[in-house]
Amino acid sequence: MLDAVRAQLVEYGYDGLGIDAVAERSGVHRTTVYRRWRDVGGLLADVLAEATADDWRPPDTGSLEGDLRALNAEVYAALTEHPPVTAALIAASFRSAPAAGALRSFWADRYDRCAVVVERAVRRGEVPAGAEPRRLLVAATAPLYHELVLLRSPADPRLATEAARDVAAAARAGAFGGPTAAVSVRNGHCSAVEAI
C-alpha cells in the first residue's frame, strides 16, 4: 500500500495522489483505504511514520567529522535519488498539514537518534561539553537541504563532505553551545585566543 503511495507520488505528484488511484494501484479496496487513511494527508503521514519504524542508527566511524560525513552521505543520497521519493515527500509537506507534521516528527526522531554522534565526540574529547546535538546536526545537514531542495542547485557530492568538515571544525572550536573562543588560525597555528 505504502509502496503504491510512494510510486503514485513520484510519478504523478501530489495532485495525482488520490485515495482511489492508490486503491487501484495497490489492489486494496477503496472502502478499506478510506476507512483506514481517510485522505491523502493520512497516506503520506503513514509513509513517513513507516520510515520511523526501522532500526536505523547513525554510523560510528570513530570521529565526529567521519560520522557527519556518513550522515551527510545518506542525506545527499536521499535528496538526489531516483525516483525522487524524499524530494516528493518534502514537496508534499507544503500541500498537506498532516504530511508536514509527519515529516517534522520523522526528522525529530532522526535527530534524536543522531544525538549519540555528538555524545561520542564529547566523550572522545573531540568537542567541548556543552555542544547542543540538534543545533550541531542541523548545521551539518541544513546546507544540503538548502542547496538541493530550496535552491535547486546541481547535485555535487562536495556539498556533503564540505558541510561535514565545516561543522566538525566549528564544533572543535566550541561552536553549537560550547565555549566559543576568538581563535585566529593562520598557517595552522592559533594566533589569538579569548574566551567569549
Interacting residues with a copy of itself (CB under 8 A)? 90-91, 93-94, 100-101, 103-104, 107-108, 125-126, 128, 135, 138-139, 141-143, 145-147, 149-153, 162-163, 165-167, 169-170, 172-190, 193-196
For a copy of itself, give the closer residue by CB, 50 or 162. 162
For a copy of itself, give the closer residue by CB, 25 or 113. 113
Alpha-carbon span 186 to 11, nearest angstrom: 52
- Which whole-number Å values give the CA distances from 87 to 103, 105, 141, in the listed order? 12, 17, 15
Query: Least distance (Å) from a copy of itself to the CB of residue 17?
Result: 14
Query: Least distance (Å) from a copy of itself to the CB of residue 32?
Result: 29
Query: Least distance (Å) from a copy of itself to the CB of residue 85?
Result: 15
For a copy of itself, give the closer residue by CB, 155 or 169. 169
For a copy of itself, give the closer residue by CB, 22 or 163. 163
Phi then psi for 186, rounded to 5 degrees?
-125, 130
Alpha-carbon span 153 to 12, nearest angstrom: 23
- Which whole-number Å values give the CA distances from 86 to 60, 77, 111, 123, 178, in the listed order? 24, 10, 17, 33, 33
Q: Show the cell assigned to 149.
A: 531542495
For a copy of itself, give the closer residue by CB, 22 or 175. 175
Query: Least distance (Å) from a copy of itself to the CB of residue 27?
Result: 30
Q: What is the dihedral sign for C-alpha 44, 46, 49, 53? A: negative
Whether the upstream peptide bond of residue 83 has omega within 30° of 0, thus cis, is: yes
Query: Least distance (Å) from a copy of itself to the CB of residue 4?
Result: 22
